[in-house]
A and B are shown apart, each in its own frame.
Chain A
Amino acid sequence: MLELGKYADAILSSWAITLGLLIALILVTWRRSVQVKQQLDAAEERAKRND
């Protein structure tokens, strides 16, 4: 394991927070994109049937 010395807390916490935030951002973006795509597909389907 890597020797981080006296700065271990600072390094680990900042990396953990950064990775956490980035992953949260990616997940939010991805989930929203899937949701909206499904909604739009459903709406297009309805629009086609109504025409």
Chain B
Amino acid sequence: MSLWEFANPVKFMALSGKVLPWVIGLCAITLIPGMIWGFFFTPEATNFGNSVKIIYIHVPSAMMAINIWVMMLVTSLIWIVRRHHVSVRAAKAAALIGVTMTVIALITGAIWGQPMWGTYWAWDPRLTSFLILFLFYLGYMALWAAIDNPDTAADLTSVLCIVGSVFAVLSRYAVNFWNQGLHQGASLSLDKEEHVSNVYFQPLLLCIAGFILLFLALVLIRTRTELRLVRLHRLDVRERMKDA
């Protein structure tokens, strides 16, 4: 019994169908209380005032935006090396979620930036990198949408994802070099010195867990849809072959 067993679409469908309700349930009992806790029951911060409440959506979505791209990179590599259908469909399924997270991070960041820095947008390295990440997501999704044959599309988008990842990292360093920024450093490091205080940290952790579970639930549903579409395509082709 190895992990690769679930690369078989039939096994994956069976397992994901069983797991899905649990993931959705767990997501509901972390995300909703986390958000309510963060929104209603947290005190004002000394420097940020009440605007600190934006952190409960800004930080999780920003984390997810990057991590989803990493997940797409890993699944694309698995497709290139081992050619498991589930893997590349999961990458495709994740792209729209990733782009939504990027947009949320950008918009909430801009709204938060206005009272804090006095501007909605600054060409700060972090902000700029997220904008670039958004462009990479768009390109990836556009390439999927443009190609009809599912296998060709899977191969080409995987190659794009791998090359794009290299250039995304390069852009990150280039942008850092180009302009030093306003954005504060990481607010969640394991290093205790820089840690935000527990009052904000606990609901934030709950929200992050909620976002991760939400992503898991959505990506499972979307991967299942994608696999069904592949099956549909196969049946379609077979039907046409018979007619011809």
Contact assessment for B108 and A25 in the assembled complex, using a CB-CB cutoff below 8 Å: no
Question: Top 6 A-B pairs ranked by shortest CB distance?
Answer: A7-B51, A14-B108, A14-B111, A18-B57, A33-B225, A43-B235
CA distance A26 to B220 in the complex (A): 12
How many residues belonging to A are interface residues under a CB distance threshold of 8 Å? 32
Q: How large, as a class, is the contact surface on chain B? A: 35 or more
**Shortest distance between the CB of A46 and any CB in chain B (Å):** 7
Kindly list 20 other residue pairs between chains A and B, CB separation below 8 angstroms, not including A43-B235, A46-B239.
Answer: A2-B39, A2-B40, A3-B50, A10-B51, A10-B115, A11-B54, A14-B57, A15-B39, A17-B107, A18-B104, A21-B103, A22-B104, A22-B214, A25-B97, A25-B100, A30-B221, A36-B229, A37-B228, A39-B228, A40-B231
Which residues of A approach B to under 8 Å, CB–CB?
2-8, 10-11, 13-15, 17-18, 21-22, 25-26, 28-30, 32-33, 36-37, 39-40, 43-44, 46-47, 50
**Shortest distance between the CB of B230 and any CB in chain A (Å):** 10
Q: Which residues of B contact A6 (CB under 8 A)?
A: 49, 115
**Shortest distance between the CB of B166 and any CB in chain A (Å):** 28
Q: Interface SS of chain A: helix, strand, loop or mixed?
A: helix
Q: Which residues of A contact B231 (CB under 8 A)?
A: 40
Q: Which residues of B contact A40 (CB under 8 A)?
A: 228, 231-232, 235
**Shortest distance between the CB of B220 and any CB in chain A (Å):** 10
State whether A50 and B242 are in contact (beta carbons under 8 Å apart), knowing that A14-B57, A15-B39 are contacts in the complex: yes
